[in-house]
Copies of this chain bind each other. A is one copy, B any other.
Amino acid sequence: MAADTSAEPRAWEIVLEHIERQLLSGELAPGDRLPGERALAAELGVGRSSVREALRVLEVLGLIRTHTGSGPSAGAIIISTPGGGMSALMRLQVAASGFPVADIVATRLVLEASVAGDLAAASATDHRPDLAGAERLLDAMDDPGLTAPEFLALDAAFHLALAEASGNQVITATMAGLRSGIEGYALAGLARIEDWHATSARLRSEHRAVVAAIRAADAAAARTRMHDHISGYYAETSPDPARIPA
């Protein structure tokens, strides 16, 4: 119960905070190479294993990429791929029952409807969003030879492409994570679909309708169409139809 002002951080936390500080101060920036593990350990007065634990965290969080060997691409390099860390977080939290699937779907609903509305609004300005990538995916989804899982992968890529078109990296990364979190459920839900051919046709038509609303700069339509699209698919594949997010 003593008034411990220090709290004695663990060794790996020292490393993490050191790197975070250097990141905030600009001493380290994306593209830079971190000092070697041995050098970092000596510099901070901790063991190499503690350094490695911190680096492992940074790697999973999508902040660094490590390569063995020598040369300019070797070592730990600062990157910024938020999607990876978000996906790992969501996947594991779902696995540990920290995130109910229904909440993930509800969040996706909110974000995607907002993205669709924003894209439509942007279409009315001179900063028209680039939907070429998304539409290429829609064309690919028209291939009748696709299996259901292949179709779902393209579907996920389409939704992600819309998020990217919105330009909001946080929403893009979050949606990538949300999608990863429910990927298992999405695949399992396929079994609940009676007529895949009809469902696929409906999904494709809904996708086109969303894009059309965006291109027409009809924000309200874009929002509701995206909302109904996701909500409808979830209702069709959910094992518990009672708990459908509004």
A209 contacts B by Cβ under 8 Å: no
Cβ of A23 < 8 Å from any Cβ of B? yes
On chain B, the residues within 8 Å of A98 by CB distance are 30, 62-63, 80-82, 169
Return chain B residues, CB-CB under 8 Å to A121: 246
Q: Is A150 an interface residue (CB 8 A)?
A: no
Q: A80 contacts which of B82, B97, B170 (Cβ < 8 Å)?
A: B97
Cβ of A52 under 8 Å from chain B: yes
Q: Which residues of B contact A74 (CB under 8 A)?
A: none
Chain A, range 53-103, C-beta contacts under 8 Å to B: 53-54, 56-58, 60-63, 78, 80-82, 85-86, 88-89, 91-93, 95-100, 103
Task: Give CA–CA (A184, B25) in the complex, Å.
Answer: 12
Contact of A246 among B89, B92, B118, B173 (CB under 8 A): B118
Which residues on the B side are within 8 Å of A62 (C-beta)? 93, 98
On chain B, the residues within 8 Å of A82 by CB distance are: 89, 93, 98-99
Name the prevailing secondary structure of the A interface residues: helix
Query: Are B103 and A20 neighbours in the complex by a CB distance under 8 Å?
Result: no
Q: Mark A94-119, 1 if CB is under 8 A from B, else 0.
A: 01111110011011001100100010
Q: Which residues of A contact B (CB under 8 A)?
A: 12, 20, 23-24, 29-30, 49, 52-54, 56-58, 60-63, 78, 80-82, 85-86, 88-89, 91-93, 95-100, 103-104, 106-107, 110-111, 114, 118, 121, 168-171, 173-174, 178, 184, 246
Question: Given A30-B97, A82-B93, 7 more contacts at CB 8 Å?
Answer: A82-B98, A99-B169, A107-B168, A107-B170, A110-B111, A118-B246, A121-B246
Interface pairs (7), CB distance under 8 Å: A29-B97, A30-B97, A78-B96, A82-B93, A82-B99, A107-B168, A170-B178
Would you list the 3 A-B pairs with minimal beta carbon distance, nearest first? A80-B98, A23-B95, A103-B170
